[in-house]
Amino acid sequence: MISIRLIHFTILSVDKSQTLFSFILKCLWIIFPIVPCQPTEKQRSLKLYLICGLVKFVLNRWLHQWLSICEPNDSYMRVFIYFLSILTFSYVIDIQTIFIRIITRDKYTLQWLNNFPFLSQSIREFWGRRYNQIIGTILKESLFQPLNLYIPSRSIVGLITFIISGLLHVHIALVAFEDVSSVLPTFACFLLNGIACCIEAHLPINLPPLFGWLMTHSVLFVTAPMCLGPFARDKAVFFGVNELLSYGDDQWISKLPMPKNCPI
């Protein structure tokens, strides 16, 4: 992500007032995505964040335990459970948000990581407004908006953004697994989603909400194993960094009822 910021700063930016200090701040935002607290954000009580964080934490560790005792594979069910583990990992953001809001007296908060992605009624809504908003903000600020100044077609710029995002995920897959066979599926996942967004943008009609929801999640259901499959197949990898989630003895999690069947 820092490389994306650097490309924006050195090549794509038309704002001559940008300085090295502003570039450093944008890079630090990747680690500390602090934003002004909006009125709608203040309506969400800290108790809600605390409850959500605790529920996500327990569910995240429970999913981890379940996946770790099962034989790894890239079935749709295991990929779906792995995706849930990614979503529930946002408990880290929830807990950090509590501290930020207390320290700043509700003047600042953290950028939401996910905004109920399962409610998405379109592919563009999923990628643009609901899933992984931190990375989405970086790609929007440093790629989509600058490129749109040179390329008038938002669809083409959006597709280019998906292609670059796909290349970044290919790099992650190669570093994590050293498996060349995962390159093409990972890239294809983002390319297909980018094409789907372009098609969706040019539809002559607005799909009914239920039909839009079904179409959106059908596309995601088909393409998700392409990029998440390598992670689901690797038993040693849980959301990329297994050690980060090792909080000590998980015996209390193991006491919770576990499904008798593994995801296949």
Give 249-256's long-range contacts (Cβ < 8 A, gap of 24+). 250/61, 250/64, 250/65, 253/58, 253/61, 253/62, 253/64, 253/65, 254/65, 256/62, 256/65
Q: What is the pLDDT of residues 1-18, one digit of tens each?
A: 788 888 888 888 877 777
Residue-level pLDDT at 240 = 38
CA 142 – CA 146 distance, rounded (Å): 6
Q: Give the model's pLDDT for residue 238.
A: 54
Structure tokens at 74: 């890239």
The confidence score (pLDDT) of residue 194 equals 95
Residues of the chain below pLDDT 50: 239-249
The predicted-structure confidence for 39-86, as pLDDT tens digits, reads as follows: 776 667 889 899 999 999 989 888 888 888 888 888 888 889 889 988
pLDDT at 10: 84
Cα separation values, 21 from 24, 28, 262, Å: 5, 11, 50
Q: Name, in order, each residue with C-beta under 8 angstroms of 36's C-beta and a sequence gap of 6 or more.
A: 107, 108, 109
